[in-house]
Structure 1
Amino acid sequence: MLGNFCYSNPTTLYFGDKALDNLKKELVHYGEKIQLVYGGGSIKKNGIYDQIISILQEAGKTIIEDGGVMPNPTIEKVYEGSKLACQNQVDLILAVGGGSVCDYAKAVSVSAYCEKDPWDTYFLQMKKVDNAVIPVGCVLTMVGTGSEMNGGAVITNHEQKLKIGRVFGPAVFPKFSILNPVFTFTVPRYQMVAGIYDIMSHILEQYFSGQDDNTSDYISEGLLKSLIYSSRIAVEHPCDYEARSNIMWIASWALNTLIAKGKSTDWMVHMLGQAVAAYTDGTHGMTLSSVSMPYYRFILPYGLKKFKRYAQHVWDVRTENKSDEEIAGEGLDRMEAYLKEIGCVMSIKDFGVTADMMEDICDSVFILKGGYHVLTREDVIRILTESLC
């Protein structure tokens, strides 16, 4: 392990098929007014909404409803929710849904009392939060982002063609999150698979950095092997509780800051995928899968040692009579076959991207320096072009 770091995660997690029973005891810590945040209405169809409303009413809470959060939450929606929170002086924002709903809730929590434009202040300029933050709690119904146990919020600005993820500090982490794997059973297969790859991508973004013998990498390999195993079961049997519970738990540990410790971390797959999504509104996990293989094949020569290790430890590639390049390449081949097997999107053309959009999408890609190779503009164009194939 290299460097010096501090690890702290203030979120309390309640996990299991009885997890929602803990909501009432958490509510006693907050005031009367609860802003109930949710998405397009699926929680009303599957009965989760009624369960939440009943618990809130029994606790004597005043409910301020804030529905209609879209899969890629927009800054316009954040402005709307922030105004609602400020005007009603809410005491808690309760997010019921997937990662987009949780991200939105956190963005509202820091924006409600921001005296300046929160998009410019917190997402473009990345300034420190110096205003009051409204507490957030989460009831998770779809897994993938890990937003239930971190300070991240990814928000889209369609006018500026930007999709930006801001990682806020511990004050913005959810105070509590409720994780019942049964709540994920009714998620459509496409969304489930998108979440599975989002989890995998989070782990890989942190894994493919650094050359030291790092305990975080051993943890990452274990999480990846469990994810691959359980996801294959879940794709065939969506209501398999053990598989779905494992996936839900892996998602939280993939991005709760633990496996990033002692790492530089990469995150270029997210920068590429989010740029595609800013132009197409494509599903997050699927935009990541669509650019991943071209990106990883491009940077493989720069991080050959780690890619070889990945092939051996995660994909069980045999090494006899093979060069390091062959071993590493076979690992990526097995990864690609797995992505196709579970139903990931493998080309950005599936989102409507065409060759004449390359330059504009490239302009929306933020270049980061934590991975094995710092991309040039020409590199980005090449990767995006190969993602069209």
Structure 2
Amino acid sequence: MLGNFTYSNPTKLYFGKESLNGLNEELPKYGKNVLLIYGGGSIKKTGLYDEVIKILKDNNKEIFEDAGVMPNPTVEKLYEGCERARKGNVDFILAVGGGSVCDYAKAVSVSVYSEEDPWDKYFLRMEDVDNKIIPVGCVLTMVGTGSEMNGGSVITNHESKLKIGHVFGENVFPKFSIMNPVYTFTLPEYQMVAGFFDIMSHILEQYFSGEDDNTSDYLMEGLLKSLIHSSKIAVKNPEDYEARSNIMWTATWALNTLVAKGKSTDWMVHMIGQSVGAYTDATHGMTLAAVSIPYYKHIMPYGLAKFKRFAINVWDVNPEGKSDEQIANEGLECMEKWMKEIGLVMSIKELGATEDMLDGIAKGTFILEGGYKVLNHDEIVDILKESMKA
């Protein structure tokens, strides 16, 4: 392990079939006025909404609602949520939904009392929070983002064709998260497998960096093997509790800052994928899937040793009689086969991207320096073109 780091994660987790009872322990810690944030109404169909409302009322909370959070929350929706929170003088925000709902709730929490435009302050200038923050709790219904135990928030601005994530500090982390794998059972298959790849991408963004012998890499290899194993089971039987619970737990540890320690980290797949999403409004996990194989093939020569290790330790590639390049390529071939097996989108063309968008997508991609190769504009365009061919 190289470098110096500190580690703290203040989020308390309640996991399992009885985890919703944790609300009764947590809600008394916060004020009377609660902003209940959720998405398109699926929680009403499943009965979760009624359960949450009852618990809130039993705890003598005044409930204000902010519904209709979309899969890629927009800046306009953020402004709407801030206004609702101000009108209700809310003391606490409870997000019930998937990663987008949790992301959005955190964005609202830091923006309500901001004296400046939150899009400019937090998502363009990437400034720290210097105003009052409304505490957030989450009830998770979809896995993938890891938003239940981190400070991340992603907001889309369609007017400027930008989709930007801001990773806030531990003061913005959810105070607690409720994690019942059963709540994920009713998720449509497309969204389920998109979440699976979001998990994998989070791990790979951190794994494909550095050249030292790093404990974090060993942890990530175990998480990847668990995800691959359980995802195959879940695709065949979405209500396999063991598989879904393992995937939910893996998603949390993939992005709760633990495995990033001692790592430089990459994040270029996310930068490219988010820019694709800004143009197409496609599902986040699918944008990541569509650009991953072209991206990793492009950078593989610059991090060959790690790609070789990935092939052997994660995909069980037999290295006997093969060159390092052959081993590394076989690992990516195994990954591509798994992606197709579980039903992931492999081309940005399928997500609505067109040739005339590619230059703009590349221009909207933030270039980071933590991976094995720092990309330029033309390389990003080439990666996008390769995805179009898939």
When the two structures are superposed, what TM-score results if normalisation uses the length of structure 1? 1.00
List gaps (5 residues or longer) in structure 2: none
Task: Find the counterpart in structure 1 of residue 42 from structure 2.
Answer: 42
CA distance in 2, matches of 1:348, 1:148: 28
Cα deviation digits, residues 264-296 of structure 1 (max 9, x gap): 000000001000000000000000000000000
Task: Find the counterpart in structure 2 of residue 14 from structure 1.
Answer: 14
User: Structure 2 counterpart of 1:192, which letter?
Assistant: M
Cα deviation digits, residues 124-149 of structure 1 (max 9, x gap): 00111100000000000000000000
Residues 1:293 and 2:254 are matched in the alignment: no
Cα deviation digits, residues 79-136 of structure 1 (max 9, x gap): 1101111222101100000000000000000000000000000100011110000000
1:306-385 alignment runs, 5 A limit: 306-385=306-385
CA distance in 2, matches of 1:217, 1:86: 44
CA distance in 2, matches of 1:11, 1:320: 45
Residues 1:231 and 2:228 are matched in the alignment: no
SS in 2 for 1:17: coil
CA distance in 2, matches of 1:357, 1:183: 37
User: Structure 1 counterpart of 2:67, which letter?
Assistant: G
In the TM superposition, residue 25 of structure 1 has moved relative to its aligned partner by: 1.2
CA distance in 2, matches of 1:78, 1:192: 25
User: Structure 2 counterpart of 1:268, which letter?
Assistant: M
User: Structure 2 counterpart of 1:164, which letter?
Assistant: I
Residues 1:142 and 2:142 are matched in the alignment: yes
Task: Find the counterpart in structure 1 of residue 275 from structure 2.
Answer: 275
Answer yes or no: is the 8 Å Cα contact 2:199–2:254 preserved in 1.
yes
Task: Find the counterpart in structure 1 of residue 153 from structure 2.
Answer: 153
CA distance in 2, matches of 1:313, 1:115: 50
CA distance in 2, matches of 1:352, 1:217: 35
Residues 1:174 and 2:184 are matched in the alignment: no
* Higher deviation after alignment, 86-95 or 131-140: 86-95
Task: Find the counterpart in structure 2 of residue 387 from structure 1.
Answer: 387
1:240-279 alignment runs, 5 A limit: 240-279=240-279
User: Structure 1 counterpart of 2:260, which letter?
Assistant: A
CA distance in 1, matches of 2:214, 2:89: 45
SS in 1 for 2:388: coil
In the TM superposition, residue 40 of structure 1 has moved relative to its aligned partner by: 0.2
SS in 2 for 1:156: strand
User: Structure 1 counterpart of 2:266, which letter?
Assistant: D
Residues 1:110 and 2:113 are matched in the alignment: no
SS in 2 for 1:34: strand
**Identical aligned residues as a percent:** 70
Answer yes or no: is the 8 Å Cα contact 2:279–2:357 preserved in 1.
no
SS in 1 for 2:139: strand
User: Structure 2 counterpart of 1:90, which letter?
Assistant: V
In the TM superposition, residue 248 of structure 1 has moved relative to its aligned partner by: 0.3
CA distance in 1, matches of 2:296, 2:378: 16
1:59-138 alignment runs, 5 A limit: 59-138=59-138
Q: When the two structures are aligned, how many residues end up with a matched partner? A: 389
CA distance in 2, matches of 1:11, 1:218: 24
List gaps (5 residues or longer) in structure 1: none
User: Structure 2 counterpart of 1:362, which letter?
Assistant: A
CA distance in 2, matches of 1:341, 1:233: 11
Answer yes or no: is the 8 Å Cα contact 2:34–2:61 preserved in 1.
yes
CA distance in 2, matches of 1:286, 1:61: 38
In the TM superposition, residue 356 of structure 1 has moved relative to its aligned partner by: 1.6
CA distance in 2, matches of 1:250, 1:174: 18
Residues 1:204 and 2:204 are matched in the alignment: yes
Task: Find the counterpart in structure 1 of residue 164 from structure 2.
Answer: 164
User: Structure 2 counterpart of 1:16, which letter?
Assistant: G
In the TM superposition, residue 357 of structure 1 has moved relative to its aligned partner by: 1.3
CA distance in 2, matches of 1:162, 1:357: 13
